[in-house]
Chain A
């Protein structure tokens, strides 16, 4: 009977069309993602330029470090860069080599910013800030880290005088190893608030007493 015939050509043509539509769909989706975040290359370049700019600015700042406290332009830029990295991490995955490299670089910038602040402590007129070093891990070994991250993002938005620097403990870099050794960081999450180490999660109520 005619109706029992299987039109093999149709099954094949549909397979070809579907595969094409599927691949084009994925490609367009990726284009849109790139458009939103910039492609990984572009973002890398952006971040490199931004880093170089920041470095130069730090050199300028070293002439007159108190600027760091008077204008928070540098801190804002650093913060924006961090947000961009978080987006990239979500988009390209935690294990992307490019993302890891950028994170390492970013951590060093954070460290530099923090060291500057430590240097000028007590030397400038305006002195009422709290610095927080936040050590986390984004692997499955830290249950409380995403929550701690959430709380710190919130606190940073709420209290402009809170300077938060976050470090992924899984990044292998001698400078980061050094700062971990200085504070003897062996567990995550760990917080160093104005040079004193606290191990474990802190919610807003625990935190409040440290904020100047």
Chain B
């Protein structure tokens, strides 16, 4: 009974959130067009690279193809003490105007700050060496900076070259992220500026400090810092950036541990954002992301528990009839438990709202390729992964708090 109540509260909350987001989108969809820039801003794009010999060519090539006046665009590669020939590969592009630095290994945030001190462009962004960008992306983004309060513009991040099922699930996840980020921008509630190709106003970094070198996720820290100073974070939904999603379960797991533990740490750091003076972000968007995590972990526990009990009972039962199922198959059809019937209907409705989000993202960001089949796969498995990652990340977090003096090194 208590579980039934929890399940229905979860579903009500999920429905509320999805309807809220959809309604916000529909009310604002006429504002989705990128504003035309009144001037051409000078931009630096930094490519921090540590052992990226494999991917960096594609990254640099995509930047060189950007549709943007060459005299206003600086492409800067920082080799962060790679052990492979990343530096040599980058060097080859110097004759095409790419600036290349090399230094001792010191981490991504430090590499970005290293460049920040050396340049004087109005805008600055970075592009990881596992990502590449559409040629039109930058032009679509800069118009937002005509508003002096806009400190960052985020692009639409997508999974490029998805091959296996795990990458296809991430592809749908990222499309959902494209939709969410746009709606969050309407609500003044963007709280993650993804690493690849978010473009910042340099004066903000100069005034309020550069990238935070002490955190696992400098991009989340920076987004929350901009929010806490009451500036605007924008999103250009059709400025497409592609990144390669981890191929293996293990690789993906490591990535998520870094993201989620980093997210928890930074939200704790900026807990003052949970306040009505930060509007929708403070009273709804941030709290609901934590409520969702809590609910999905509960749902995970419930399913595992239920499955375990059922499997155990079933084993006991079939052992009493010497594992002979044949006569039983005839009675199987009537043995389903329909107690939770309305719950399934409501879950389907919520999935429908999710699907609408993915379709919106696909349409407005001009994503090609089919999503229908993988959306179903995503629905079946993603919440399990999501709950599992968050559960382990919470454990990591609790563990690291107790072991603080032991030197928790979360670098994954």
Contact = CB atoms under 8 A, between A and B. Distances in A.
Contacts of B16: 14-15, 18
Contacts of A146: 313, 317
A157 B330 contact: yes
B283 interface: yes
B395 interface: no
B337 interface: yes
A51 interface: no
Contacts of B277: 4
- For the residues of B in contact with A, the DSSP-based class is helix
- For the residues of A in contact with B, the DSSP-based class is helix
A200 interface: no
Contacts of B11: 22
Q: Which of A29, A36, A87, A151 has the most CB of B within 10 A?
A: A29
B342 interface: yes
Contacts of B149: 1
Contact of A91 (B187, B328, B338): B338
A3 B342 contact: no
B354 interface: no
A32 interface: yes
Contacts of A203: 319-321
B258 to A, nearest CB: 30
Nearest to A13: B23
Nearest to B344: A29
B19 A21 contact: yes
B327 A157 contact: yes
Contacts of A175: none
A92 B316 CA distance: 27
Interface in A31-74: 32-33, 36-37
Contacts of B15: 18, 21-22
A115 interface: no
A91 B341 CA distance: 9
Interface residues of A, number: 41
A183 interface: no
B190 to A, nearest CB: 10
Nearest to A16: B19
B188 A4 contact: yes
Interface string A90-114: 1100000000000000000000000
A210 interface: no
Contacts of A177: none
A60 B341 CA distance: 42
B322 A205 contact: yes
Contacts of A13: 23
B343 to A, nearest CB: 7
Contacts of B317: 146-147, 150-151
Interface in A77-98: 83, 86-87, 90-91
B20 interface: yes
A153 B279 contact: no
Nearest to A91: B338
Interface string A116-154: 000000000000000000000000000000110011011
A157 B324 CA distance: 12
Contact of B337 (A25, A27, A90): A90
A169 to B, nearest CB: 21
A6 interface: yes
Nearest to B328: A154
B291 interface: no
A30 B342 CA distance: 6
Contacts of A205: 322
B279 A22 contact: no
Given A4-B278, A33-B341, A25 B321 contact: no
Nearest to B188: A3
B38 to A, nearest CB: 20
A17 interface: yes
B276 interface: yes
A153 B138 CA distance: 69
A22 B37 CA distance: 44
Given A1-B149, A4-B188, A204 B20 contact: no
A150 B342 contact: no
Nearest to A17: B19
Interface of A: 1, 3-6, 10-11, 13-15, 17-18, 21-22, 25-30, 32-33, 36-37, 83, 86-87, 90-91, 146-147, 150-151, 153-155, 157-158, 203-205
Interface of B: 11-12, 15-16, 19-20, 23-24, 27, 149, 187-188, 230, 232, 276-280, 283-284, 313, 316-317, 319-322, 324, 326-328, 330-331, 334, 337-339, 341-346, 349
Given A1-B230, A11-B284, A22-B346, 10 more contacts: A6-B279, A17-B23, A21-B346, A29-B342, A33-B338, A90-B337, A151-B317, A151-B321, A158-B327, A204-B320
11 contacts: A1-B230, A4-B230, A4-B279, A10-B24, A14-B20, A21-B346, A146-B313, A154-B321, A155-B321, A203-B319, A204-B320
A-B CB proximity, top 3 nearest:
A29-B342, A3-B188, A157-B327
